Amino acid sequence: MKRLPLLPWFLGLWLACEPTPGLEHDAGSEGIHDAGDLPASADGPQDLPEDAAPPPPRDIPGIDARDPGPDGGTVDLPDPGPLPDRDFSTPEGITLAGRHVVVANPDFRYDGQRMVFGTGFLTVVDRGSRQVVQRIALPCRNPQEVSWDGTRLWALCSGETTFDGTLVRPAGQAALVGLDRSGDPFRIVAWMPIVPSPTHPLVGYPSSMAFLDGRAYLASGTTAALLVADLEAGHLLRSPDAPLSLESLGLGGLADQDTVKVLTGPPGVLLAGSFNRDRVLAFRLPGGAPDPIQSLEVGVEGMLDGVLDLAWRPGGTPELYVLLGLAQRVVAVSDLLGAPRVDDRFAVTGTMPNRILLDRDRLWILDSGDNRVTAVDADTGRPLEVRALMPPGTNPYAMAAGDWEGRPELYVTGLRSNSLWVFDADTGDLLAQVPPVP
């Protein structure tokens, strides 16, 4: 059995290396610790005060358009609390929504014993002016992911966890929040709370999401399970009380610790990566039950290499890229649904890689420990000269890429610099930092 998960693993190292030094060191530095020295937590130990109570509800106009309140459009939501003064606060997930960049801010700090979360919020940046045009307080803790489906913006709040010395468990309420462009420029229109289950205490803490046929599939960060949300109806089809277990696909049961990354693959197919078991799965969901297509071991037998991220390349060869965070390399898979071929040395990463991103004919690799994003050829894995560099202490977390006014651009969130970085995706030149450096 492999060791317990740590996702995102560099965040655990960030906690272990307080104060600031540690993440800026090169590989092999004394600031970098083996994951076995750290608590087995998705985000480090987060014990909550025993007297912690949920914030009181308040009326927010226009929430959940499918079920308006008696006054024509209000429902009770938890009060998110006051927003921090700065534009970003420990920014993580990022997406592009037309002319806007949207960033998820968990607003956390480490008090020496546990993670403490403030008001989670979204920051909306105009891609043309590079100005923050909106901040949206969310009625849930720890928003880590945000995605734009062409119609709505979806923010995934993971909630919090506790660590008992052996297992990491969800604690408190997570949620999936939907926003549309009827606001200025966005407005909350749907809220789906995700409450921990006494029946399945490890199910919850959703930390990645994929969209397929009008549904959101939310992967648990604490065990091998999926939650399912009907996006049109605005409610959960599979909650922590009745999750989709991935045990039938070769992963552990609902009482086993794992962290799962989920991604939409070929038409009608979902892909999942298991941190704990170094496996990649392809499956369909006819009738709601997982129907396996492929299951691949992508790590070294007997080792914990840690699947952190996936990237799908439709019509290309290779077609699937797998980031192994602890092994610091990228695996590439060809003909996944047929006779798969695995290149387990496709590319080597830098220190503390956290994300990969397919962008045209290249694959971007984000190395948080090296404060950089580098590119490799998507066909061969050959390193390319283009790279996006950030100062020590930035600790980039996630990225997005897209054209703006004819220029390809790369957007990167700085977890510890509380900023957004914008680069020319062809040259790696820095175009802007938001907020700008005084």
Which pLDDT tens digit goes with each residue over 292-303? 999 999 999 999
- The model's pLDDT over 115-165, given as tens digits with 9 standing for 90+, comes to 899 999 999 999 999 999 999 999 999 999 999 999 999 999 999 999 999
| Whether residue 22 is found in the same domain as residue 110 | no
Residues 95 and 206 in one domain: yes
Of 178, 197, 232, the residue that ends a domain is 232
Backbone angles phi, psi at 37, to 5 degrees: -85, -5
Predicted confidence at residue 185, as pLDDT, reads: 92
Residue-level pLDDT at 433: 98
Residue 419 lies in a domain: no
pLDDT at 68: 39
Contact 60, 74 (CB under 8 A): yes
CA pair distance 24, 320, nearest whole angstrom: 30
Question: Left, alpha or beta for 412 (phi > 0: left; psi -120 to 50: alpha)?
Answer: beta
Asked if the model's pLDDT at residue 35 lies above 90, the reply is: no
**Is it the case that residue 1 has pLDDT exceeding 70?**
no
| Beta strand residue intervals within 252-335, DSSP E | 260-264, 270-274, 279-284, 291-297, 307-312, 320-324, 329-334
Tokens of 437: 């450096």
Residue 420 vs residue 112, higher pLDDT: 420
Tokens of 386: 């283009």
134 near 185, Cβ under 8 Å?
yes
Give the pLDDT mean for 18-40: 28
Three-state secondary-structure class, residue 324:
strand
The Cα 9–Cα 19 span in angstroms is 17
pLDDT at 170 over 90: yes
> Phi/psi of residue 243, each to 5°?
-80, 170
pTM for the structure as a whole: 0.86
Cβ pair 420, 92 in contact under 8 A:
no
Give yes or no: residues 95 and 2 share one domain: no
Higher per-residue pLDDT: 38 or 58: 58
Q: Are 47 and 91 contained in the same domain? A: yes
pLDDT > 70: what percent of the chain? 83
Please calculate the CA angle 205-353-140 and round it to the nearest 5 degrees: 25
DSSP state of 319: -
Backbone angles phi, psi at 238, to 5 degrees: -130, 115
Same domain for 150 and 21: no
Question: Based on the domain organization, do 23 and 36 belong to the same domain?
Answer: no
4 and 105 housed in the same domain: no
Please check whether residues 99 and 12 belong to one and the same domain: no
The H or E element that residue 13 is part of is: helix 9-16
Phi, psi of 167, rounded to the nearest 5 degrees: -125, 145
pLDDT digits (tens, 9 = 90+) for 224-249: 999 999 999 999 999 999 999 999 99
CB 132 within 8 A of CB 86: no
Question: Could you tell me if residue 371 is inside a domain?
Answer: no
Residue 358 belongs to some domain of the structure: no
The three-state secondary structure class of 242 is coil
Alpha carbons 6 and 44: distance in angstroms, whole number: 8
Q: Distances in Å between the alpha carbon of 201 and those of 52, 168, 174?
A: 19, 10, 14
18 and 102 housed in the same domain: no
Q: Are 428 and 386 in contact (CB under 8 A)?
A: yes
Per-residue pLDDT reduced to its tens digit, 45-61: 233 333 333 333 333 33
* Cβ-proximal residues to 286 (8 Å cutoff; 6+ apart), any chain: none
Distances (CA, A) of 185 to 43, 65, 152, 274, 331: 31, 17, 12, 37, 39
User: Is 312 inside a domain boundary?
Assistant: no
Q: Please report whether residue 212 resides in a domain.
A: yes
pLDDT band at 9 (very low <50, low <70, confident <90, very high): very low
Confidence of residue 287 (pLDDT cuts 50, 70, 90): confident
Q: Which of 232, 256, 275 is the last residue of a domain?
A: 232
Out of 59-68, 261-270, 282-291, which region has the weakest mean confidence (pLDDT)?
A: 59-68
For position 186, what pLDDT does the model report? 96
Q: What percent of the chain has pLDDT over 90?
A: 78
- One-letter identity of residue 386: V
CA distances to 247, 278, 288, 309, 423 from 260, rounded to whole Å, are 12, 10, 18, 9, 30
Q: Is residue 237 part of a domain?
A: no
Q: Please report the pLDDT score of residue 75 as a whole number.
A: 55
Which of 179-183, 199-203, 409-413 comes out lowest in average pLDDT?
Answer: 179-183
Location of structure tokens 């998110």: 80
Among candidates 42, 179, 176, which has minimal Cα distance to 102? 179
How many domains are there within the chain? 2
35 and 23 belong to one structural domain: no
Domain co-membership, 9 together with 49: no
Give me the domain span that covers residue 20. Answer: 1-27
The residue from 183, 204, 232 where one domain ends is 232
- 403 within domain boundaries: no
Q: Does 35 fall in a domain?
A: yes
Rounded distance, CA 174 to CA 185, Å? 24
- Average pLDDT rounded to a whole number, residues 196-214: 96
42 or 362, which is more confident: 362
Are 225 and 145 found together in one domain? yes
Q: In which element (H, E) is residue 359 found?
A: strand 353-359
